[in-house]
Structure 1
């Protein structure tokens, strides 16, 4: 199929339809409004259903109902709206209901701004609702990658019976790029014999539930879920290693920020400085093992459009073996390649001074 120039949010909607999504429930909020607008126009053409719910809370509970009936279903929102959906997401995780949730992120806390941000890292990767659960979280850096990840997310959701999140910062939702809708790799998916589709007198009723009043039963259920999450951690982690083979300073960034950092790396390498990038493509599971593959690294610099939420995972990944630094902009501000490069140069100069001082002591 030829490439099509599309706005990110509209490409997200088309990707969902290509993946077999026939139901969408949502509520307007900037900067993701083109997603429900696209779905409202296109879903009826294929016999699908679009509902603009009266609130984000209503929308996610409609998703719960459609997922319980075995449908491929999606919702989307931006940061404050996703916060409102967290109760429904934990219910879906507890009931093991597959669905896809797109978050086109904006600055916070609270209503914050309509500008792009990456300040939803904690909410997305830690499970923003109550209880012991996690959700796979994809973080695309381009519109094409978002399309591919959304299509994959539906299969991952069905394969593991879990909600899956795709977190695209506001710039990716609003930018226009050429995209191609490729035939995805198919997973071996089991029939949804757990769904509430009506017994037709041929089986016992299925029950969709996340309520366990007996502690022993709930513990057993949590252990079952935890086993699933450990399998996801083992099998579904994705990342990109960019010029890390000889890098002495290694950036960690995702989404739009990672694209800016690649320009920073070009600036530094033109100055003779060896820089590289670890780009998590899944924020959960986080690519911890990637940090074992940077043999020449002396410093890590995490760059985010937030006050530094991913830093905690980076620190866990290096286990104190390397110094972890942070540079970020918040509130909708976007870092430039030059300012990131200046920060990296300061770190490398400081490290070199320390090495010289240690040599002088000896």
Structure 2
């Protein structure tokens, strides 16, 4: 049965159904519905909700709950995620699974509370210190948000790595019909997480979770081991959507809500005889570079609600083989389908 829900609320309910029993956060627009929903819902399933005194406190609570083996989530928006960066680096270094949700708004600084995609580089290139990566997932609808939460928690547990669900404020605030899976993953029993800090539990030595390695050689080996894990993720977990690719002259690259605007533009362009396709990255990290290997098109057009952030990855994907053009609107301005069509015409010289 489908239910009409906001993206933020659907995400929170799907997290609970995926076994999340610990949530720590701090209110910030446009993701406040997540906090409100979890405050009501988690006690109903025996979970723990705690509104921390700050984002810095909240992310360190995630470190503790995740380190004890619980399925734990935190959510915030752009300035709040910035405050969490040190804790996120600690969590990645300590290999603690958790899910971090960023409902993006306009920046830099406090910016405004309207939807944007300006946190792409922060999410995919590592906003904190050190050689680490988050797995970054980008939904494009309320239904996909709900479906993606189960995947996010499973990937976090599988690789002992933080997973970020990156979505803009439009997706968080919009209402769409959503149908929840009848049975999502159950919370993994703590006993299956033999690394967790749960006391001795018949062990000869207690578990220790840390990202501190005093000896340079020891830290070097830790980083090499993390890199091996990241290489496995890049090999096994890349996800993307192709739309209208066959016969296209130009392929648009867009994610999140912008990909839906791009699909409308593609429909408009086709009525004018323009052959346009779309590649939608679903994993922003790892980025789907291989999706571009066999493209035979005149140009690529990166469309984003930010200024040349994902564009850098598309340039790398093209490897100089295909010209890459850019269309972006920063500050929370939503791109119109007609703008995309006009850009396509300009690139093809069809004006």
Shorter-chain TM-score range: over 0.9
Distance 1:10 1:101, change over 3 A: same
C-alpha deviation, 1:3, in angstroms: 1.3
Deviations 1:90-123 (A, max 9, x none): 1000000000000000010000010000000000
Contact 1:10 1:34 in 2 (8 A): yes
Q: Which stretches of structure 1, 4 residues or more, deviate above 6 A after TM superposition?
A: 185-190
Deviations 1:176-227 (A, max 9, x none): 0111111358999992000001114543100010000001100110000000
C-alpha deviation, 1:142, in angstroms: 0.3
Unaligned runs of 5+ in 1: 353-362
Name the structure 1 match of 2:163: 164
Name the structure 2 match of 1:93: 92
Name the structure 1 match of 2:240: 239
Distance 1:203 1:4, change over 3 A: farther
Distance 1:99 1:72, change over 3 A: same
Distance 1:300 1:188, change over 3 A: farther
Q: What SS does structure 2 have at the residue aligned with 1:50?
A: strand
Deviation larger for 198-207 or 12-21: 198-207
Name the structure 2 match of 1:331: 331
CA distance in 1, matches of 2:186, 2:151: 9
Distance 1:274 1:165, change over 3 A: same
CA distance in 1, matches of 2:76, 2:185: 27
Distance 1:185 1:240, change over 3 A: farther
CA distance in 2, matches of 1:103, 1:259: 19
Counting only pairs closer than 5 Å after superposition, residues 1-362 of structure 1 correspond to structure 2 as 2-182=1-181, 183-184=183-184, 191-295=192-296, 297-349=297-349
Name the structure 2 match of 1:358: none
Deviation larger for 201-210 or 169-178: 201-210
Contact 1:267 1:341 in 2 (8 A): yes
Q: What SS does structure 2 have at the residue aligned with 1:5?
A: strand
Contact 1:247 1:294 in 2 (8 A): no
CA distance in 1, matches of 2:219, 2:134: 19
C-alpha deviation, 1:344, in angstroms: 0.9
Distance 1:184 1:43, change over 3 A: closer
Deviations 1:246-303 (A, max 9, x none): 11110000000000000100111111111000000010000001112322x1011100
Distance 1:317 1:59, change over 3 A: same
TM-score (norm 1): 0.94
CA distance in 2, matches of 1:332, 1:292: 32
Contact 1:245 1:294 in 2 (8 A): no
CA distance in 2, matches of 1:245, 1:185: 36
Q: What SS does structure 2 have at the residue aligned with 1:21?
A: coil
Look at both structures and tell me which one has the larger radius of gyration over its CA atoms.
Answer: 1
Q: What SS does structure 1 have at the residue aligned with 2:349?
A: helix
Q: What SS does structure 1 have at the residue aligned with 2:44?
A: helix
Equivalent pairs, count: 349
CA distance in 2, matches of 1:320, 1:289: 14
TM-score (norm 2): 0.97
Contact 2:251 2:299 in 1 (8 A): yes
